[in-house]
Chain A
Amino acid sequence: MTPREPITLPFKLPRFPWGGALGGIVALLAIILLFTSWFTVAPEEVGIVLRLGRYVRQVDPGLNTKWPYPIERVLKVPVQRQLKEEFGFRTQKAAVSTRYAEGGFTRESLMLTGDLNVAIVEWTAQFRVRDPYKYLFKVREVRETFRDLNEAVMREVIGDRGVNEVLTIGRQEIAAAAEKRLQELCDQYEMGVKVEQVVLQDVNPPDAVKASFNEVNQSQQEREKMINEARAEYNKIIPKARGEAEQAIQQAEGYRTERINRARGDAELFRAVHASYLRSPEVTRRRIHLETLNAVLPRLKRKIIVDERLKGLLPLLNLDEAKP
């Protein structure tokens, strides 16, 4: 080793082992420097460049350069990726048929409703990193904080609603309210997070009371059924009765027409007969009388003709004989 010319030594490598070692170190350093002065940022990420620990710039996806390792470091934040937290359940393996971890998360999902009942609410919150600077440097344990806020917000929202509202019609509104409140708090905490969506999953009464909730649903069905049956019976009877009523009235109208027509006919007949009678009263009268007798008498099986002077006829007759 010649201390006066340390820089030129690497060229005489085989003859100077010390210098060779130094040269090797220099070459190694050069390689490290080279490899730590460029980096790629994936399409869904941004890179945050820190120079000696201090934030200096934010870089877009693609190939980027920086000062080599000890001077500048880069942190990558997936700003485009949608992140998700689950509450009350855990997806074990997301697939076409997703598997969920078995139970044990009721401490997360069990909450009091505004009427001091208990409901089990499971939900997911989807979010994105909106401000990588805040996300990295403002809050420690962002995920944990986000989870805590979620639990607090959901309980705040559920706590202001009745158990029926929570279990039935309130779902959309609850999710919307929670989303809004959650964003407010995330902003207040300067987490740099944008809440994309809060989705209520299963909302159930606790297992112990589930049966009685089902009973309510069932009784609601029963009520509808009873009412429908009564309506069906009503619909079966009433229109028929209306038809029958109409029938009776029509029959009466028919009777009326018939009755009047008959009366008119009879009247006409009488008028005609009477007119002829008036033309020759004596003969017509006798003719009618005799015609009647002529029609009636042949029908009678038994006829008794008695002289006008005969008295006490009845004892001689056995009236019952006439009967068959």
Chain B
Amino acid sequence: MTAVRAAAAGLLVLFAVIVLSGTVYQVAETEQVVITEFGQPVGQAVTTPGLHLKKPFVQKANYFDKRFLEWDGDPNQVPTRDKRFIYVDCFARWRITDPLLFFQRLRDETGAQSRLDDILDGETRNTVAKHDLIEVVRSTNRPFAGGDEVSEGDRQPEAAVKIEFGRAALDTEVLKAAAARTSDLGIEILDFRFKRISYVEQVQQEVYARMISERKRIAEQYRSEGAGESARINGEKERELKAITSEAFRRSQEIRGKADAEAGDIYAQAYNRDPEFYRFLKTMETYRDTLDDQTLLVLTTDGEFLKYLKASR
């Protein structure tokens, strides 16, 4: 009965394979395993990758991820302490540090995610509500570079506001509060961060309106600066023009005056040798210049010139 033998051998092999596959299990580099016997955890968690043994059938291997796992919150509408409504979108990284505890408390990752939702959303809400919006936005009090050449400090209180904590401190605050609530769940939250922060729609419109009016103000200021500067240059131009022309006038008058004086001195020096002769000479010259064909001259004969008309002596 070779067929029966063969069937028996085949069954034996099949049985052996089933037993073997129930006994040996493989743990990947990214995994850790908790062994349960009829649902009850047995022994320590297996965290080293490779092949491991367990009792077949009665024991079951439960796989958990060993890597950093993601948690991404839904955007939440949260009011800040200064009553601004914002959407806050956060994320966190966590990992399973104690698979045994994790298995007992949360069973699987889905359970963990929903628990993290509760804890982190709540703590985010608490933290944001305790602080002003600016604390979530800014990290330091560094001054803004490259502002317009317009003083904005007085008109725009937000820019001048000093923060007390800052974004990083708020991240840490949420992280600490959440860590306190997750310590007995076999998980560790490694990092928590605010991702997106945005205004709710209505606030957004108000912000836009404010931005627009602010830009308009700056634009007006630029224009007025332009007009002012232009007027200043014009004034400077006028002043300089006056200075230049009057200075030129002053100097030329001075030169002319000096010239006249000097010439006068020269004349005086020459004519003082004989003032009477000068008077005579100048008078003669003046006759030449002033008497023309329109002049009617009435002469009498007793003058020096015409006396010879009447007598030769």
Contact = CB atoms under 8 A, between A and B. Distances in A.
Contact of B248 (A116, A216, A244): A244
B18 interface: no
A309 to B, nearest CB: 9
A216 B219 contact: yes
Interface stretch (B97-105, B122-130, B175-183, B187-195): B187-195
B259 A255 contact: yes
A282 interface: no
A212 B5 CA distance: 92
A234 B236 contact: yes
Given A137-B29, A165-B145, A271-B273, A118 B208 contact: yes
Contacts of B226: 219, 222-227
A262 B255 contact: no
Contacts of A227: 226, 229-230, 233
Nearest to B140: A160
A209 interface: yes
A115 interface: yes
B206 to A, nearest CB: 11
Interface string A46-81: 000011111100000000000000000000000000
A219 B191 CA distance: 46
B309 A305 contact: yes
A170 B145 contact: yes
A290 B259 CA distance: 35
Nearest to B299: A305
A50 B284 contact: no
A155 B194 CA distance: 9
Interface in B244-282: 244-245, 247-249, 251-256, 258-260, 262-264, 266-267, 269-271, 273-274, 277-278, 280-281
B291 interface: yes
Nearest to A163: B211
A132 to B, nearest CB: 12
Interface stretch (B37-45, B53-61, B62-70, B112-120): B62-70
- Pick the most buried of B29, B251, B297: most chain A CB atoms within 10 A of its CB: B29
A248 B277 contact: no
Contacts of B219: 212, 215-216, 218-219
Interface string A138-179: 111100110011011001100111111100111001000000
A299 B293 contact: yes
B262 A263 contact: yes
Contact of A251 (B216, B252, B301): B252
Given A237-B237, A245-B244, A259 B204 contact: no
B267 A266 contact: yes
A296 B287 contact: yes
B: interface residue count bin:
35 or more
Contacts of A208: 205, 208, 212
Given A212-B216, A263-B267, A138 B294 contact: no
Interface in B203-221: 204-205, 207-208, 211-212, 215-216, 218-220
B215 A307 contact: no
A interface SS class: helix
A204 B286 CA distance: 90
Contact of B269 (A114, A267, A305, A308): A267
A165 B142 CA distance: 12
Contacts of A248: 248-249, 251-252
A273 B281 contact: yes
Given A255-B259, A305-B306, A205 B138 contact: no
Contacts of B145: 161-162, 165, 169-170, 173
Given A137-B29, A160-B138, A252 B223 contact: no
Contact of A319 (B30, B67, B296): B296
A248 B196 CA distance: 74
A118 B248 contact: no
A-B pairs with the 4 shortest C-beta distances? A162-B144, A223-B226, A245-B248, A256-B259
25 contacts: A53-B26, A53-B51, A115-B156, A115-B159, A118-B199, A139-B67, A140-B69, A161-B145, A164-B147, A208-B212, A212-B211, A216-B148, A216-B222, A222-B226, A223-B229, A227-B229, A245-B244, A248-B249, A248-B251, A252-B256, A292-B284, A300-B292, A301-B294, A304-B297, A305-B299
Interface of A: 1, 3, 18, 50-55, 107, 110-118, 136-141, 144-145, 148-149, 151-152, 155-156, 159-165, 168-170, 173, 188-190, 205-206, 208-209, 212-213, 215-216, 218-220, 222-227, 229-231, 233-234, 237-238, 241-242, 244-246, 248-249, 251-253, 255-257, 259-260, 262-264, 266-268, 270-271, 273-274, 277, 285, 288-290, 292-293, 295-297, 299-308, 310, 313, 319, 322-323
Given A110-B198, A189-B93, A252-B255, 19 more contacts: A1-B6, A55-B29, A55-B49, A112-B199, A144-B72, A145-B70, A155-B195, A161-B145, A216-B215, A219-B218, A227-B230, A230-B230, A238-B240, A255-B255, A266-B267, A270-B271, A273-B281, A292-B287, A304-B298
